[in-house]
């Protein structure tokens, strides 16, 4: 029993979970892993982790979540937010994970490489705000 407790302690970084909670204003521990967010997510097919799995890693305090691709496939469309039976605003958790990665200098896009063609300004301002530090 004691052994199990020690193992759990080694994995959990309560501090990291708290940081996400502080940035998002959402308690990750409200999530009971029903998967409804991912079931209705229009971008789940391009995510390496489903939204509830992102939340699971946050619950476990696993900083590996900062290397996941899923938060960058999230368009903050809030479909999950209006459907979550536990009232978790998952888009805010995704935003917190993105910001923590960005603040460590990890950015998934280079704005200079985004083709300018006739992209609407909304799209360019949108990704610069969501995907660059």
Partner 1 sequence: MNSILYYPGCGVADQARSMETAARGALGALGWEMEEMERWNCCGTVYSLATDDLMRHVGPARILARVQDAGHEHLLTLCSMCYSTLKRSERFLTEERDRLDRVNAFLDDEPDYTGGVRVVHLLELVRDEIGYEAVEEAVQRPLSGLKVSPYYGCTLTRPRAVGVDDPERPRVLEDLLLALGAEPVSSPQGVECCGAYLTASAPEVARRRAGAIARAAARGGADLMVTSCPLCQYNLDTRQGEAPGASAHAVPSLYFTQLLALALGADPAVDEQVIDPRPVLAARGLAVEVKA
Residues within window 13-52 making contact with partner 1, judged by CB under 8 A: 22-25, 40, 42-43, 45-46
Position 55 contacts partner 1 (CB under 8 A): no
Position 96 contacts partner 1 (CB under 8 A): yes
- How far apart CA 23 and CA 101 sit, in angstroms, is 12
Smallest distance from partner 1 to CB 8, Å: 28
Position 122 contacts partner 1 (CB under 8 A): yes
State how far the alpha carbon of 40 is from the alpha carbons of 20, 50, 113, in Å. Answer: 23, 11, 31
Cβ nearer to partner 1, comparing 8 with 107: 107
Cβ count within 10 A of residue 113 = 6
Position 66 contacts partner 1 (CB under 8 A): no
What lies within 8 Å, CB to CB, of 10 at 6+ separation is: none
- How far apart CA 75 and CA 79 sit, in angstroms, is 10
- How far apart CA 45 and CA 87 sit, in angstroms, is 23
- How far apart CA 34 and CA 84 sit, in angstroms, is 9
Residues near partner 1 (CB under 8 A), total: 42
Cβ nearer to partner 1, comparing 7 with 35: 35
Out of 12, 27, 60, 81, the residue judged to bind partner 1 by CB under 8 A = 81
List contacts with partner 1 (CB under 8 A). 22-25, 40, 42-43, 45-46, 72-73, 75-79, 81-83, 89, 91-92, 94-96, 99, 108-109, 114, 118-127, 129-131
């Amino acid at each position: 029993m004691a052994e199990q407790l020690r193992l759990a302690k080694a994995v959990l970084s309560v501090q990291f979970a708290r940081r996400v909670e502080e940035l998002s204003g959402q308690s990750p521990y409200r999530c009971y892993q029903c998967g409804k967010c991912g079931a209705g997510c229009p971008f789940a097919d391009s995510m390496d982790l489903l939204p509830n799995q992102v939340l699971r890693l946050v619950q476990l305090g696993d900083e590996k979540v900062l290397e996941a691709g899923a938060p960058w496939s999230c368009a903050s469309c809030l479909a999950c937010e209006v459907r979550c039976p536990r009232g978790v605003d998952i888009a805010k958790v995704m935003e917190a994970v993105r910001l923590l990665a960005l603040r460590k200098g990890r950015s998934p896009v280079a704005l200079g490489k985004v083709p300018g063609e006739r992209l609407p300004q909304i799209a360019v301002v949108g990704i610069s705000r969501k995907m660059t530090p």
